[in-house]
Structure 1
């Protein structure tokens, strides 16, 4: 009996040792963070350092990298040109893999796209955001992972000191609005002009254009703003709906300035449907192929043409500069010139 009891004790002791050893192994793993953890700072610093080391190693060995971008709205021809510029650097120049995701003009989708790139552990990101505030929180997580990000086209509500983005590359948006206003002033010739302005407050780049336009016409008493408002949402349907409301509400519209070409083309559509387009000046910003065709056909009056491919190229080069261990040698804010296009020079861009 005594030997049986001793045997049972030995077996029980061995079982307890195995359980204890298993518990120790589980506590040492990194996949199960404790609720009492002091925070992610140490882990984030280690992750960022590891990511930087991996990028440096990839540069030395010639290993293929993966660079991602999120475009603000894939249905916009402007974004197609942006993607082309991005791919020309990532694929054509460096021979790396390019991932292109579409935010479809929706802030929540934008955040999900960035999260997707994080989960794919890309080496760098070029971000063309559709909202200037929505991505800020998740960009802090991206920074903690050590993934370099360059912002383009949309000016994000962050500062250089925060270190969330390597650079902010945008069009000379204020000057784009100024150019439209100067053309309107010249065409008015001192005669009274009543203007409707379509804006989008969450689009900081678009609001810079509106500011440039409004500031420029401010000293001209003959030019009056009938209404300055924005669509209910960032969709073609909502922009068309607002333009249709204006057409029904006012019978004395002389000009419409929209913050981008998609909205300007919606205004053209509403005016045509109401047989009011003749004699009304319609302006946008972007220089999309559809806008160029509309100008050629005598519908839109003019647009300040952006260079989205150049914005993407500049931002992608910044990402590679950092990945290759270099230092960016230009200002944090980079401004790409716009070109005013009307019937006099539209053939150059068709």
Structure 2
């Protein structure tokens, strides 16, 4: 069975700052030293948790910020959300503001695997613990935790579904995410691990579309002009996939083209429901965003960091068969 064969192989500057300057930390501020040397172990909850996401215009990142903010408030903290939009300079400014506001912890979706290292070090120097969500940085031992989706596993289950719906043959294109984000390469590698086992599937083009719907549309249009006979699009996230769907619709070519996404965002779920998108891979962003705040709270109260810094959370394949079990944004009941 081809599915079993493939799965076995796989197993082997402050423009969007939202009120940051309006909030100052209360009890247990991050500027105070502790036995742990980085703001932890005060024995009680309270103070400001700063949450920094990428771009809340994308429903994935908006959910990330909303869930973390709600979790922080539920645990007795003040919370504020800012956005860097993938810009390390803006991220640096947001970290400076978090420090000046005496944050007791920072929940950060890093802007750049390498470029965000300095921002995390700056927070550490101010005795503010940092908990990373969604994306990693290329240095261990700086963040108290790095919580991400299991991107390799998600890419594998998505690619296998895509192969099945492609009937194991046809020309296709790939839309690649932001190169500064390690998730982009991890997902692309996961796709290749599966697809490379099927010689009748031929990649005729690949473009970087930076997780963006408009870029996904424009890059797909260009790729279609050079390759008018494509039968499939495999995409590193839903926004790029939705852009591809828009381009295919405009060209009158969506019917018969298999488009796969990754994230599980509401627009993608709707596209799966109506048959425009073959599937999406749901990232459990609501789960790990809340967990990051829970871990921050534990560290603030006890000084204990997670034993394992890097933690991954398995993704869920969403197809027309199980899409009805989506009960809300990025929430699955199955």
Q: Which TM-score band applies after superposition, normalised by the shorter structure? A: 0.7 to 0.9
CA offsets, 1:163-185, max 9 Å, x none? x2001110010111111111122
- Residue from 186, 191, 195 that aligns with 2:164: 186
CA offsets, 1:49-77, max 9 Å, x none? 369689568544x6x31001101111111
TM-score normalized with structure 1 length: 0.79
Residue 206 of structure 2 is aligned to residue 241 of structure 1: no
Q: CA deviation at 1:348?
A: 1.1
In the alignment, what sits opposite 1:210? 188
In the alignment, what sits opposite 2:120? 139
In the alignment, what sits opposite 1:15? none
Pairwise CA RMSD of aligned residues?
2.2
In the alignment, what sits opposite 2:73? 91
Residue 304 of structure 2 is aligned to residue 341 of structure 1: no
- Greater shift in the superposed pair: 319-328 or 331-340: 319-328
- Residue from 89, 105, 128 that aligns with 2:109: 128
In the alignment, what sits opposite 1:33? none
TM-score normalized with structure 2 length: 0.83
| Residue pairs, 1:286-301, within 5 angstroms | 286-301=263-278
Partners of 1:195 and 1:299 lie apart in 2 by 16
Structure 1 contact 194–223 (Cα < 8 Å) conserved: yes
The aligned length equals: 297
- Residue from 114, 133, 152 that aligns with 1:174: 152
Instruction: Give the structure with higher Rg (CA).
Output: 1
CA offsets, 1:86-126, max 9 Å, x none? 1232101x121001001123333222222221221211001
CA gap of 1:65–1:287, structure 2 versus 1, over 3 A, is same
- Residue from 52, 56, 73 that aligns with 1:70: 52
- Match of 1:131, SS state, is coil
- Residue from 304, 309, 334 that aligns with 2:281: 304
Structure 1 contact 55–324 (Cα < 8 Å) conserved: no
* Structure 1 unpaired stretches of 5+: 1-46
Q: CA deviation at 1:262?
A: 0.6
- Match of 1:294, SS state, is helix
